[in-house]
Structure 1
């Protein structure tokens, strides 16, 4: 493939640009709705230091450097390849981590627009 071309024959509802599949964002409200309906999971891939801000209810916690170990292989046993996956991480890393998961064959991967702050705001609003 020539430099600068886009390979659109990659799964994960995205196109492969350079090294990673491009994934789309999802709103915090959309992510909470998917999880609440049992159709997906939130993956909290913030570094441990950042997670001291607090945890997200029901989120699966994964260290950023452990993503390939946790999601690699043919089956994780806890999340199906067709499940919705919403990634929360530090702003600069969330799209890359979501793309890394998508590149392992997961088809419905997004990163949460607004990250932890947005998810926490929606969780607090919904708990009232």
Structure 2
């Protein structure tokens, strides 16, 4: 198992806005009614492994470069585990957003 760290909502937003990071919204569909995040890749938590597993040819399907920074937003208790799951599939720069959706949404409003 790899080790992922948190990233602040402010840093995740800044990295995303400067095309240095991809935001992955892995909140369950039942809580996505709270709103969306601009430009985020939406993946149901139950589909993470299927959506992020490299193809048989070795390419990475959701985020093309395995070294791209990925910032995961989910239910707070699930975010670290989902980030770990993505990292375990070969992505090398995965974080979870500290404070989750609420913190990131606030950062986008600031």
Whether TM-score is above 0.5 comes out as yes
Q: Hey, what's the Cα distance between the residues in 1 that align with 2:68 and 2:18?
A: 12
| Number of residue equivalences | 106
Q: What's the RMSD between the two structures over aligned residues? A: 1.1
SS at match of 1:52: helix
Larger Rg: 1
TM-score, length basis structure 2: 0.92
Query: Greater helix percent: which structure?
Result: 2
Q: Hey, what's the Cα distance between the residues in 2 that align with 1:38 and 1:59?
A: 12
Which of 63, 66, 74 in structure 1 is aligned with 2:44? 63
Task: Map 1:92-107 to 2 at 5 A.
Answer: 92-107=77-92
Which of 69, 72, 94 in structure 2 is aligned with 1:87? 72
TM-score, length basis structure 1: 0.79
C-alpha displacement of 1:80: 1.2
- Which residue of structure 2 aligns with residue 37 of structure 1? 18
C-alpha displacement of 1:78: 4.0
Moved beyond 3 Å, runs of 4+: none
